[in-house]
Amino acid sequence: MPLSGSEPVSTLKALQAFQVGQVGRDTVADYLRKGWSLAICCKACERLVEWTPPELARRFGDGSQVRVSALVERLACAGDEGCGAREIAVFPHLFDGKWPRDA
């Protein structure tokens, strides 16, 4: 039961409310430095994909200054399991694996 007495926000409602401005100025390099994964969620079918720090480093390089907000407009729910939608939400997710690679 929520402390406020109101109904908890559903995952779908939270996804629909996502705006790219909520991501802020974080870059891929910030995520790597903080040991965060990038969670990528389709607003249409709720498919969730996680790009872990090793995957982010593979895709963008260790020192990438690509803004996470810039990635949102380039992403789509693609592949064999994707629905094809281009409305995507992203958020940081704490990576529980070993990172950095030499740790």
- The predicted model scores a pTM of 0.77
pLDDT of residue 1: 37
Please report, to the nearest 10 degrees, the dihedral formed by the alpha carbons of residues 46, 32, 34, 48 taken in order.
10
C-alpha span between 77 and 88 (Å, rounded): 8
- One pLDDT digit (tens) per residue for the chain, 103 residues: 344 555 555 666 666 776 767 778 889 999 999 999 999 989 888 788 999 999 999 999 866 899 999 988 899 999 888 999 998 888 888 888 888 854 5
pLDDT of residue 24: 82
pLDDT of residue 22: 73
